[in-house]
Amino acid sequence: MALFIRLPRCHTHMRLTLLFGIGLLLGAAGSVDAQIYSNEFLGVGAGARAQAMGNSVIASSKDIYASYWNPAGLAAIDSERGLVVGAMHAEQFAGVTKYDFLSVSLPLADGSKRLALSLIRQGTDDVPNTINLYTPEGIANYDNITTFGVADYAILLSYAQPTRLLSGKLSVGGNLKVIRRIIGDFSNSWGVGIDLGARYNSGPFTAGITLRDATSTYNAWKTDLDDRTREVLITTGNTLPDRSGSETTRPSILPGVSYRFEFGNVGVAPEVAAWFTFDGQRNTLLSSDPVSADLNVGLEADFKQRVFLRLGADQWQRYRALGEDDERLQVRPALGLGLRLKSASLDYAFSNPGNDDNLYAHVVSLQLALTRPEVD
């Protein structure tokens, strides 16, 4: 949740430190409803394969990471697989922010139905709190700077199964998700929501769709500031955040299609997906109010479905450089590699969201599967 902070006319250094410390401290607290970019940490993604393909995996995701992208894809996990475990770690913004995903899945009944439990965490540690930087006499004392952590959590309980529709080629799934967001000792929230997904597969062609936050996702915030913090905010002309507030994440739709071409031992599978949001105008490829849409494109080439090379692009944005009148279209490119063995797969992705060389991101993910024991 956003808070716009008005700083007084003072020295530039003081303005910057106050903006950095107080802005991060209260950037997610307040009383807002259906805000754009609500719970945005859930838009980062899961799995290095997806990251390398520009997050265009709504149709093709059929492993443990489908619990995030399209829960219906869990039903496509080989019925001979028993326990499946997946883990991902990403270093964002040159390592400032850490993003982790951990998931486990178990089959039900004949193995075609699946349950999965996933945990997502995004965190930034050692955020400077400059609220006490200046003494009442206006003297900067850097020993008064403290730090705090910001962490966002989500727990996903997923279920998927095939159906008899479309000759048994259609599967469906859903997520129940619980969200916990923490900003130091100052503010925190709880939220709950539901995702729904469907996936159709016929030979080399696959289509999928995910309805994220199907019933809207609601976060209830609680903010508790000490007297000193409240005093500084009032003195600097800022509005105090409400002690309690709510935040609503509206539904979004993610459709995708994929087709796999085979040339002997080599396979090539392009995929296209989109992300339609309905919470207001965003800086995306299609930007309007209330509907905006972003484009995700990816390509996966493989040798005997064991070694993979991936390319992708997403996050199309228009920007205007300082001193220029014309807008430019900027996109986040990505590439990656993958290795799949009999019961394990290892994937890596690299991306740079922008022109700044310091905004690169490295992503590594692993998946392990155990064969189901035979029952006499």
How do residues 249-268 score in pLDDT, each as one tens digit? Answer: 889 999 999 999 999 999 99
Band of residue 28 on the pLDDT scale cut at 50, 70, 90: very low
pLDDT score of 7: 30
Q: Under a CB-based contact definition with an 8 Å cutoff, are residues 371 and 80 in contact?
A: yes
pLDDT score of 356: 53
Give 323's contacts (C-beta < 8 A, 6+ positions apart). none
Name the least confident of 11-20, 73-82, 86-95.
11-20
With a cut of 80, say whether residue 358 has pLDDT above it. no
- Higher per-residue pLDDT: 238 or 189: 189
With a cut of 50, say whether residue 8 has pLDDT above it. no
At 326, which amino acid appears?
A: D
Band of residue 142 on the pLDDT scale cut at 50, 70, 90: confident
Mean pLDDT of the chain: 81
How do residues 37-57 score in pLDDT, each as one tens digit? Answer: 678 788 888 999 999 999 999
pLDDT score of 138: 73
How do residues 299-335 score in pLDDT, each as one tens digit? Answer: 999 999 999 999 999 888 877 767 677 777 788 899 9
With a cut of 50, say whether residue 6 has pLDDT above it. no
Name the least confident of 87-101, 163-177, 253-267.
87-101
Percent of the chain topping pLDDT 90: 43
CATH code of the domain occupying 12-371: 2.40.160.40
At 221, which amino acid appears?
A: W
pLDDT score of 90: 83
Band of residue 354 on the pLDDT scale cut at 50, 70, 90: low
Q: Is the peptide bond before 290 cis (omega within 30 degrees of 0)?
A: yes
With a cut of 80, say whether residue 272 has pLDDT above it. yes
With a cut of 90, say whether residue 149 has pLDDT above it. no
pLDDT score of 144: 74
- Higher per-residue pLDDT: 27 or 160: 160
Which candidate, 368, 371, 369, 303, places its Cα nearest to that of 338? 303
With a cut of 50, say whether residue 31 has pLDDT above it. no
pLDDT score of 36: 65
The DSSP secondary structure of 209-257, one letter per residue, reads EEEETTT-EEEEEEE---HHHHHHHHHTTPPPPPSEEEEEE--EEEEEE
* Paired tokens of 57: 């995996």
Residues 352 and 71: their CA atoms lie apart, in Å, by 28
Q: Under a CB-based contact definition with an 8 Å cutoff, are residues 105 and 74 in contact?
A: yes
pLDDT score of 370: 83
Q: How far is CA 41 from the centre of its chain?
A: 5
pLDDT score of 29: 43
Band of residue 33 on the pLDDT scale cut at 50, 70, 90: very low
- Higher per-residue pLDDT: 207 or 326: 207
Residues 30 and 239: their CA atoms lie apart, in Å, by 10
- Higher per-residue pLDDT: 111 or 258: 258
Name the least confident of 22-36, 81-95, 129-143, 175-189.
22-36
